[in-house]
Structure formats: structure tokens, C-alpha cells
Chains A and B, each alone.
Chain A
């Protein structure tokens, strides 16, 4: 972990752009597109998946309140216009915040006035209910949106789960992410209503080799072996839905799996360093696999320790979640830490808002989560309180709107 990263955490976000640029300059990997603080909204893929993970999140799941397909299409067009403007650092509409009729409520809510684009990305997906509610041809509904199975230990709150559509807003500045969600929600009133939303601070994954590996609230580096933007062929294999994998509209898109994972951090904090490292399978300081010295050293799952037991225990988190244990399964993680105040019993309502992008939730996320839920000792310290799956369409060409490939007449 480099010093620039922790200083950013301490000082807030004024220097985020500079710090990111510094990180990029120090590495020899391709320069990320965030140098100017603007991530392109249009392109072959939606932004916010393999683009470098920003440090702030506001994720919202919405329900449709209408079955009128044309009305929903109009909303998606309006959303796209506003989203593209906001990702460029502009108001939802020209003169939206203060330039309009003084007797009318402003079109833009204004709290992002004067703030830069802050690398805002807005990523859109549709959930299982989208298809039934709009009476779409059942053949258009991707098989990957089938309900996830119940996993051992799930304590899912319906109020924090599901949704007919989702918008993931990520930015360097939390105010920019919240502004984006707030304005899109407002534009959606009458067509959509918020089902649940989640704020996240501090990414828990890197999605580019130019980024340092961050830490989760258990204090461990998280996502060292994550899929990254530079893993071209691996992304095609594990993240992007190829043509022929499902309905044509989803080709080039991906599935988003969201899990709100409550961490009982107070209990964890009473656990010895040795046990913490044994549970995770990595050292806490460097993040090296047990038995190795560097963070990016390969994990030797066959190694036997002096006690005759596997050096990385059979139930270690990194073993259970590894491609080696799961028949080659990998996922792209893009999660965030959260602390939603406290729980009324003197404990922080803290955890990890897990977000993963995968080619097939049932072939990738499900076996991984099943293995973790049944065997991972970490499960004693966490519980899954929310769950949702969305299908994210491919990127937008000029003139297209969110879900264009699904709803265009």
C-alpha cells in the first residue's frame, strides 16, 4: 500500500485526481482514462465495470411503478441525456441549477455546482422484474437473472434486496455520486421508485494494475487476484457476455451481482492477528499469501507447514474463493466499504458492499458463494443482508440510450 493512498483517505478528496495521476505515472501500465477526471460515457462497454474503480459509491436499485413500455423508454432516454451530461461534469440540463425560471424548482438540484466530473461513472442494469412488468417477450429475459439460491447463513432483508433496475454511481467525490443518483431518481418519479440504495466509501478492489490494492474493514488487502482491465482475454472469458450466450441485446454486456455483507467488526477486532491471517490466508501487513513474502506472489495451495497441515488452511478465504478450488472460476469484483451509522446496540453497522461483474452469475458467483457460505470461517464474522442481480447492457454508441438494444422499437 503506497503512502499516497492512505493520505488520500485521511485528507478527503480534494487531492484525489492528483493522487491517482501520481499512481499512474509511477507505473508503466497504460495510462487510465481518468487523467482529466472525465471517464467517457459512451463506448463498446459501459463505464464503471473495468474502468479504474473510484473510491466512492452510491448504488441505487429501483422498481418500475408502471407497465407502460413507451413511458419507460422515454425515461431511459431522459436518464441517458442527464447521465452523459453529469459524467462530463455538467448539470442535468443546461442552466439546470440556477439558470431557470425563479418560480420553478430548478431542474438540477445544484449540490455538484462547481465540482469537477470527479471520474463519475454511471452503470445501468435491469433486474428480473423488468421483463414481466413491461410484458416483454420471455425470450428476452436472460437466464442469468434467475433467482440466486439461498446460501447458508443468508439473512436477507427484502428491503435491501432485488430491484427492477439499478444505477451504480462511482466517483472520486461522494457528493458527485450522490448528486447523480438523486437527480436520476428525481427524473424517474412516476415511472420508478427507489427500492433501496447503498453508499460506499473506499473501494475494496482494484480493477486496473495501475491501482494499489485497497483494504476492507477487516484491515486486509482485498482483491489482489481480482480480474483487471488489462486482462483482455480473461475478461472475455469471465466478465463479458458473448454473442450466443443469451438474448442478443445483452451481447457485450455483463451481469452485476450485489451483496450487502454486514461485518461484525467488533468481534473481528477481538480476534488475534494469527487467527485473522489464518482465516483470510494472507498476511495482514503485506498481503502476501501465507508462506510467501510479496502481495502478488502466487499462493501455493499445495504447501505443507511445519505442523504437517496445509500452509494455507483448507478453510482459508483465499483458497475457497480461488480459481484453483472452483474449477477455474474468476469474477471481477468492484465492491466498497460501508458504515451506515450504528445498529442501535452499540455496534457499527459496517461491512462490505460486494459488487461483482460476471459473464454468468450461476456458473461463477453461485459456486463461489456456496463454497464460502458452507466452509469459510469468515462467515462467523459476517452475514449477507442484501442481494440482487442485474443484467447490464453493452456500452452505448452515439445516439443510443440505456438498454437501447433491449427496448429500441
Chain B
């Protein structure tokens, strides 16, 4: 979490931008036609039963035939996430229903093990859905799309964190340690949204030395992290786990009704990179487990998610910015891949000063263009 709550800033921005988001409805044409497109997702394959669909509502029915938990994405330009389903267990089938109003080139991807760029294939959308493409509509689509993405992250956050808490409560320390950075991934992607509810973030992601209101205990991920890596499980560790789950359910309920503005998306994208620069590159966030690079990656993905949602607006107003963002996001991702170990990353304590300097330079390089997004979408 950041040291200061941004709730006030976000509220002010929301008020100022209300005029831009007054036309809320997304007028995607429901006539996708042709029924669901079957996707068969294996451990090494991603068979999409059709590489083309008309603009409008498109439904993918994703069946996981592999042995790993998988995800399925539909990406637009700049890896803008048009829609995704996460956390599809082996043998399960889940639907992705996605609004695609514009024809053009898209990309499908399965992510067995929920890591990496996934197994990708081109996907073409034909025609245009009926709608007006004025600026307000684009902005409304951006916030609606991002809202859907945040909701999908929380949908995965709850079961993944439940697995982690279950392991803590079963006293299975090794499993709990392995699940700790994985469960946090979903949290770290959407942290600015959670921070906009000022009181939730300190409970879920507070650190031991944060100043708290009287009577508020040190709870959440980092309390359990400390138990697992430093103190050993405590008499109240199980209760802290239940409390974490309750706080996450609270988050889910609040996110369902939150109103987001384009400026919040843009600032959220920037704040996630600020988090990387001040919390992850310094090794402060996960000071007991040293799994900071998992959070680093998740913050960058969260930033990319918000920027991608705004991409049509960015492309309309400053066509030069999008390609720079693509290039810089790709550079950070490529750099992080160098530190991948299996499904995870090298520990912070295993990094050299030179590693950290390279990471800082890549985040600085990305942070500057991302900081321009708010100005561009409000110009």
C-alpha cells in the first residue's frame, strides 16, 4: 500500500470529470450471431473453434482440458484486454462474454498456469456494432471495460486467497508460502481501486510499522507473511486469515457499486508504477518473504490494464503515445522475464545492485509516458 490515502484526490477528480462520463450505457449490439465459440484449452494448446466473428457481443466457451489452472483473454491493440476469464480449473468450462463494438484485428490467448504471454492466435472481428463513437462514449466504454476487468480480478482474488488462508489454517507452511505471492497478484493489479476506499487497504495490505488508528490491529497479507517467514504461526493466525477473507469480501461488495472515472483509471495506472518504484524496487513491500517481483509484475499488469482500457481514447487524441506505451510496457515485461524462475520470480534478496538499477531505469522509462495519459484523456 502507499503511505498516503488517495481517496481525497480521487474523489476530487471524479467530481471534475463527471461531465465526461454522463453517457454511461455501452451500446454494444447484442447480435453476435452464431452462438458461443468453443475454446479447448490444454497445457500446451489453445484451440479456438473460429478465428472470426461479427462486431457486437461475442461469447467464448472455454473448456480446460489440461492439468493446470488456466485463463483465457481477448486482447485488442496494445494488449488492451477486451475481456478475460480467470482461474478456470482443470475440467471446468467457463464462458467469456465480451463486447467488441469495433471491427479489426484482435488476439486470443490461453494462459495455462496463469503465467506469461499465453498461447496466442489472431482473431478478426468484422463490421461495426451500432453505436455512436463520440468521445463520451469512448470514455464510458473505457471505464466500463476497466470496471469489468477489476471485477474479474476480484473474482480470482477471493478463491486464490482462500486457498492461501486454508493452507495457513491447516498449518501447511510450505504450501502457504508458495501461495502467498500468487494470491497477492490479483490484489496488486487492482490496488489503486482498493485504495480509493481509504479504510480497506490498511486492513488488507498494511505493514507492521504503519501508524494505525487506536484499536486497529496489524492484519492482512503482511501479518500472515510475517507469521509464515519470521515468527511462526501464532494462536490468532487462523483468525487473521478469516479476517482477511472478510475484508476481501467487503472489497468485492464495494467495488461492485463504485463509479470510476477516466482520470481515476489514468492516475491508477500511474500510481501502480509509483508503487513499483517506491515499494517493490526497494524491497519494502514483501520484507519477510522477498517476493517483491511477483508484486512488481502484478502492478505493471494492473497499470497496463488501466491504460489498455483507455487506449481508444488515447489513440484518438494523441496517436503518438500509444506505440510508446506499448514499447515501454514490453520492455519492462521482457526485463522481468529475465528474472523468472519456473512459475515465479527470483527473490529480492537474490538481486544485484545492477539488477535493481536496470529495473529502476525501465520503470522510470515507462512512468513518464504513463504519467501523460491523464492529461491526454482530459485534453
Interface residues of A (CB under 8 A from B): 65, 100-101, 103-105, 159, 186, 189-191, 193
A175 to B260, CA, bound (A): 39
A103 and B367 within 8 A (CB): no
- Listed A/B pairs (28) with beta-carbon separation below 8 Å: A65-B361, A100-B375, A101-B375, A101-B378, A101-B379, A103-B13, A103-B16, A103-B266, A103-B375, A104-B371, A104-B374, A104-B376, A104-B378, A104-B379, A105-B371, A105-B372, A159-B353, A186-B368, A189-B364, A189-B365, A189-B368, A190-B324, A190-B328, A190-B364, A190-B369, A191-B365, A193-B360, A193-B364
Partner of A190, one of B13, B365, B375: B365
B188 to chain A, nearest CB (A): 23
Q: Which of A103, A104, A159 has the most CB of B within 10 A?
A: A103
Chain A residues near B266: list those with CB within 8 A: 103
Given the known interface contacts A103-B13, A190-B328, the answer about A65 and B375 at a Cβ–Cβ threshold of 8 Å is no
A190 and B368 within 8 A (CB): yes
A135 to B173, CA, bound (A): 52
A191 to B369, CA, bound (A): 12
Instruction: Assess whether B55 is interfacial by the CB under 8 Å rule.
Output: no
A100 to chain B, nearest CB (A): 7
Instruction: Assess whether B263 is interfacial by the CB under 8 Å rule.
Output: yes
A307 to B365, CA, bound (A): 65
Chain B residues near A193: list those with CB within 8 A: 357, 360-361, 364-365
Chain A residues near B371: list those with CB within 8 A: 104-105
Chain B residues near A104: list those with CB within 8 A: 371-372, 374-376, 378-379
A interface footprint on B341-379 (CB within 8 Å = 1, 0 otherwise): 000000000000100010011101111110110111011
Partner of B375, one of A105, A189, A191: A105
A101 to B376, CA, bound (A): 9
B379 and A189 within 8 A (CB): no
A186 to B368, CA, bound (A): 8
A240 to chain B, nearest CB (A): 35
B365 and A103 within 8 A (CB): no
Count of A-B residue pairs with CB < 8 Å: 44
B369 to chain A, nearest CB (A): 7
B361 and A103 within 8 A (CB): no
A103 and B369 within 8 A (CB): no
Closest to A100 in B: B375
B282 to chain A, nearest CB (A): 17
Closest to B366 in A: A190
A328 to B379, CA, bound (A): 62
A65 to B324, CA, bound (A): 14
A191 to B331, CA, bound (A): 12
B379 to chain A, nearest CB (A): 6
A76 to B364, CA, bound (A): 18
Chain A residues near B16: list those with CB within 8 A: 103
B367 and A189 within 8 A (CB): yes
B378 and A103 within 8 A (CB): yes
Closest to B270 in A: A105
Chain B residues near A101: list those with CB within 8 A: 375, 378-379
Chain B contact residue count (CB 8 A cutoff): 24
Other than the given A159-B353, A189-B367, A193-B357, 20 more pairs (CB < 8 A) read A100-B375, A101-B378, A101-B379, A103-B13, A103-B16, A103-B263, A103-B266, A103-B374, A103-B375, A103-B378, A104-B374, A104-B375, A104-B376, A104-B379, A105-B374, A189-B364, A189-B365, A189-B368, A190-B365, A191-B365
A104 to B378, CA, bound (A): 8
Closest to B17 in A: A103
A67 to chain B, nearest CB (A): 12
Chain A residues near B378: list those with CB within 8 A: 101, 103-104
Closest to B378 in A: A103
A65 to B371, CA, bound (A): 20
A288 to B368, CA, bound (A): 53
A276 to chain B, nearest CB (A): 38
A101 to B366, CA, bound (A): 21
A68 to chain B, nearest CB (A): 10
Chain A residues near B372: list those with CB within 8 A: 104-105
Chain B residues near A189: list those with CB within 8 A: 364-365, 367-368
A103 to B360, CA, bound (A): 25
Q: Which of B361, B371, B378 has the most CB of A within 10 A?
A: B361
A188 to chain B, nearest CB (A): 9
A186 to B357, CA, bound (A): 16
A189 to B324, CA, bound (A): 12
B264 to chain A, nearest CB (A): 11
A183 to chain B, nearest CB (A): 12
Closest to A186 in B: B368
A343 to chain B, nearest CB (A): 19
A191 to B364, CA, bound (A): 10
B274 to chain A, nearest CB (A): 12
Chain A residues near B369: list those with CB within 8 A: 190
A159 to B266, CA, bound (A): 35
Chain B residues near A103: list those with CB within 8 A: 13, 16, 263, 266, 374-375, 378
A155 to chain B, nearest CB (A): 18
A191 to B360, CA, bound (A): 13
B263 to chain A, nearest CB (A): 6
Chain B residues near A65: list those with CB within 8 A: 361-362, 365
B354 to chain A, nearest CB (A): 10
A189 to chain B, nearest CB (A): 4
A191 to B367, CA, bound (A): 13
Closest to B376 in A: A104
A191 to B368, CA, bound (A): 11
Closest to B375 in A: A104
A65 to B366, CA, bound (A): 12
A193 to B360, CA, bound (A): 9
B357 to chain A, nearest CB (A): 8
A38 to B337, CA, bound (A): 49
A115 to chain B, nearest CB (A): 24
Q: Which of B260-319 contact A (CB under 8 A)?
A: 263, 266
B168 to chain A, nearest CB (A): 41
A192 to chain B, nearest CB (A): 9
A355 to B364, CA, bound (A): 29
A27 to B325, CA, bound (A): 56
A83 to chain B, nearest CB (A): 18
A164 to chain B, nearest CB (A): 13
Chain A residues near B379: list those with CB within 8 A: 101, 104
A101 to B13, CA, bound (A): 13
Closest to A158 in B: B354
A159 to B353, CA, bound (A): 10
